[in-house]
Structures are given as C-alpha cells and as structure tokens.
Structure 1
Amino acid sequence: MEQWSTGNPSVARDEVLSSIREVLAEREGFWGDLEDYHKPRNNFLNDVLDRRIGLPITLSLVYMEVSRRLGVLAQGIRLPGHFIVGWPPAAAGSQIRYLDPYHGGRELIFDDCRGLFQQLVDTEAPFGRDLLRPVRKRALIARILRNLKMRYVTGRRFDLALDAVERILLVELLPTQVRDRGVILAQMGELSAA
C-alpha cells in the first residue's frame, strides 16, 4: 500500500488500476468464459476464483474487491448485456477510468463504452453518461441471482431456479419476481403453492 502513497490521489489510483489489470488478467489469467458463457458456475464467485474465468459481473466483483483492499474505491457499472468496473475521479481534473474485466481488463474510455453498448444492444439508441452510473450492491447481487435463475429455467432445473428466485426476493421484493416464483412452482407441479 505504501508504494502507492505518492500524495497524488490520481497517480495512486492509476497505479493501482495498472497493477490490478497486470496481476489479475496478465499474470493470473482472469478472463471471460468465451467457450461457455451461459454455464451457471460462471455466476459463483468461488468457481470464478478457482477457474479464473467467469461472467462480466463476477469478474468485475473480483476487480472491485481487490481495488477495495488496496484502498481505492471501484464501482460496478451495469451496461445492457454487459458489466464493467469504474473508478471515480481521484482528484479535480482527473477522469473516470473504466476497465472491462471480461476482456482481460481492457481499459475503456467513454466512446469505447458507447461502442460496446451499441454492439450489445444492436441499435442506434442514444447513449449517455446516465448509462454509466454505478450500481448498488443489492442490485449487483440481484443481477447475479437473476442470471442464475434464467440459466436454471433454461436448463429446466426448476428446483435450483426456485432457490435463486427465493434469494432474489430477499434482496428485492418485486412483483415480477413474485410472479416468476409462481410460474416456477407451477412448472414443478406445486400448483397450490404457486
């Protein structure tokens, strides 16, 4: 930690970011799962740490936690269909920095984020800084759980999908999740509980 105590918060932040990217992506090999993106295990942080591959959101969690432990705030940024990490300006005049852990910690500027958005959404929809807002921890957890629920429903593993939706309801009590719980129970033949 002392090696980053230069007195200049922007320099400290930028050195931490470079080190995180070098260690996690280049040295340790943390990358996105390019072969089987939809594997449920890509949502489990313990599997991501063991295998060093995962989804954008779980890899972002790894980057965020390493950054936090080094004393530099990192924030999860939800894009439609993707997830990246942002580091707020460290001092007046410095810029927000973005990394894409799924693609080896590739650094992104605003225009890169716009291009990624347009590639994923496949539209000319307007892209603004409002789409690069940090997500709250509860929203991040709920998104991982929704990913799991979707994977399990697609794989017809309704027992595991029910477990996921029950956990989602602990994090965010939304009518859509209550509905999904009923649909999953009906698929399991539990009509009275549905």
Structure 2
Amino acid sequence: MEFPTARQFFYKEIYKPEPQIDLAKAALYLAQEEYPHLDTDEYINALDTMAAEIEERLPTERYPLKVIKTINQYLYEELGFTGNSNDYYDPRNSFLNDVIDRRTGIPISLALVYLEIARRLDFPMVGVGMPGHFLIRPDFEDSGIFVDTFQGGEILFPEDCQARLTQIYGRPVELSPSFLEPVTPRRFLGRMLSNLKLIYINRGDILKSLSVVERILLLFPGAPMELRDRGILYYQLGYFPKASQDLQSYLVQVPNAEDADAIRKLVQRLSQDL
C-alpha cells in the first residue's frame, strides 16, 4: 500500500537525525493528511513573520524573563492566542495550521507555536512532557522556570508544576524529576498523535484512528500498545489477517499483559474465521 504524499514527507522528516527534525514541518505534514491541499510554506512563513514581529519588540538586554514577557505580550495580548478550554477535544486543536489560523489550541500545539517562534529568535526552549499538561522551558542549565502556553504563557516554578499536577488529577501527585525532562522531537510528535488518536477513538472514527496509529508506528516501530490498537482497528474494519498478525506480535512482546487473555481469545476467534 502506498502512503499519501503527506505521510511520505512526514516519514522523511522524522528519520533525520533527531536534532535536525523540523517540528513545525513534521506537524504540518500530519495536518496535511486531514487537509490535502494545505500549503505548508504558508504556515512556515506565518511563524517566520510572527518571530520577526517579536524581534522588533525585544529589549536590548535579552534576559530570559524579558524575552518570555515580550513573546507573551505579542502572542496572547496582541494576537489573542488562547487555550481552547471550551472545546478541548476538537481535533483542530492538534493541527498546526488550524492553531495558527484560529489562534487557539491545546497545551502541546500552543507549545509548538511558542517553541518555533523562540527558535527563530535564537532563544532555545524545549518541550516538557509533564503528565496531563504539556509545558515548555528555556533550554539553559538549571533554568528553573517553566512556561504554560495554555494559560497565556504563565511562568511556573517547580512548586507550581506540583500544584498544577494536583489540580489536574484531583489528588496529590508527587512531582517526579522525570516529569520535567525535555522531550525529544519524536516524543513530541508521538504525544501530539496520541492526543488525536484518543479523540478519534472516542468519536468512533475507525479510519482516522487507524491513520494516526500508523503514524505513531512510523515514529516508534513495533511499539506493543500501538500494535495491539492497530490490530483491534483492523479487526473492526474486517482486515482479519492483518489484525491477527498485529495481535500476535503484541502477545509475543508482552505475554503477561493485563489484557493478554482477552487478546488471545480474539486471536483464536480470528484463526477460526480465517
């Protein structure tokens, strides 16, 4: 089966050495499967323009907090970017072109806009994959500050991240140091896709769910949970040989998984049908 052109571009981008992966381009190739006529250059130019506008507003002394304040003022006050808390599970919140056009998104997609602008300003920042709420921070040793792009660029300290976690989960959650580790480009894209996958599965859109899982497997070939989910989606679509193959691969990798018995029964049923 030949992949759509957008997926071929995505594949080429993610198989560059990790530091060379262009997150904005990769994210636009993800969106291009939803919008086949999307002009990726138009949105790269939009990011360039935003960065140039901010460059003119930057103070001479480029202290990190001053740079962040200038970016925040431009993005949130002048352009009106905002976290989409009214319709958090709208798939458009995960497509970079929609986020730029509509000026709204979820934490990770707003983080992407912010990171790309910061990169163009030679102000290195990295994504931070805190559970339940994506953050970013300056890429300096022991910077000690985090930015919540969903909440208007609010500056957080580690104790604020702890409070945010407790708020999200409705109970005290210990802030493990791993929660604040920088996220690699592939992990970043994987998290974007995982959000989309959840949205489409909850909507019962099997074909779009499958297309998302296929792209996660391009990022992380052989990932057991994704093989299992692709197998189940194939089963729902009636692609029984493919379903059986994926589900068996899952059982080989995690034979003692909690759902292993249920998956074995499904594989048995498939072998009888086949």
Question: 1:159-185: CA deviations, max 9, x gaps?
Answer: 111110010001012111111101111
Quote the offset at 1:5 in angstroms.
5.6
- Give, in whole Å, the separation in 2 of the partners of 1:181 and 1:5: 52
Aligned to 1:167: 215
Equivalent residue letter for 1:192: P
Matches within 5 A, 1:27-38: 27-38=78-89
Higher-Rg member (1/2)? 2
What corresponds to 1:177 in structure 2? 226
The offset of 1:119, in angstroms, is 1.1
- Supply the distance in 1 between the matched residues of 2:213 and 2:233 (Cα, whole angstroms): 9
| 1:48 has 2:65 as partner | no
1:155 to 203, 212, 215: 203
Q: Pick one of 67, 71, 88 that aligns with 2:122.
A: 71
What's 2:16 paired with? Answer: none
SS of residue paired to 2:116: helix
Q: Which structure 2 residues correspond to residues 44-193 of structure 1 after superposition, within 5 A?
A: 44-89=95-140, 95-173=143-221, 174-193=223-242
- Cα distance in 1 for residues equivalent to 2:171 and 2:220: 30
> Any runs of at least 4 consecutive aligned residues in structure 1 with deviations exceeding 3 A, and if so which?
1-6
Distance 1:20 1:107 in 2: 12
User: 2:143, 2:190 → 1: CA distance?
Assistant: 29
Normalized per residue, the structure richer in strand is: 1
Aligned partners of 1:60 and 1:83 also within 8 Å: yes
Amino acid across the alignment from 1:32? G
TM-score, scaled relative to structure 1 = 0.90
CA RMSD in angstroms comes to 1.8
**One-letter identity of the residue aligned with 1:76:** G
After TM superposition, the structure 1 stretch with the greater mean CA deviation from structure 2, 125-134 or 61-70, is 125-134
Verify the 8 A CA contact 1:88 1:96 in the aligned structure 2. Answer: no
Paired residue total? 187
Unaligned runs of 5+ in 1: none
Structure in which a larger fraction of residues adopt helix: 2
**Unmatched runs of 5 consecutive residues or more in structure 2:** 1-54, 244-274
Distance 2:68 2:177 in 1: 21
Q: Partner of 1:46: helix, strand, or coil?
A: helix
Instruction: Name which structure has the greater RCO, CA cutoff 8 Å, separation 6+.
Output: 1
Does the 8 Å contact 1:77/1:86 carry over to 2? yes
Mapped contact 1:76–1:135 kept (Cα < 8 A): yes
How much identity, in percent, do the aligned residues show?
37
How far apart are 1:57 and its partner, in Å?
0.3
Contact 2:145 2:158 in 1 (8 A): no
TM-fit CA distance, 1:125: 2.8
Q: Which residue of 2 aligns with 1:26?
A: 77
User: Within the alignment, does 1:16 sit opposite 2:67 as a pair?
Assistant: yes
* Deviation per residue, 1:23-80 (Å, 9 max, x gap): 1111111111111100111110110000000010000001101000000111101111
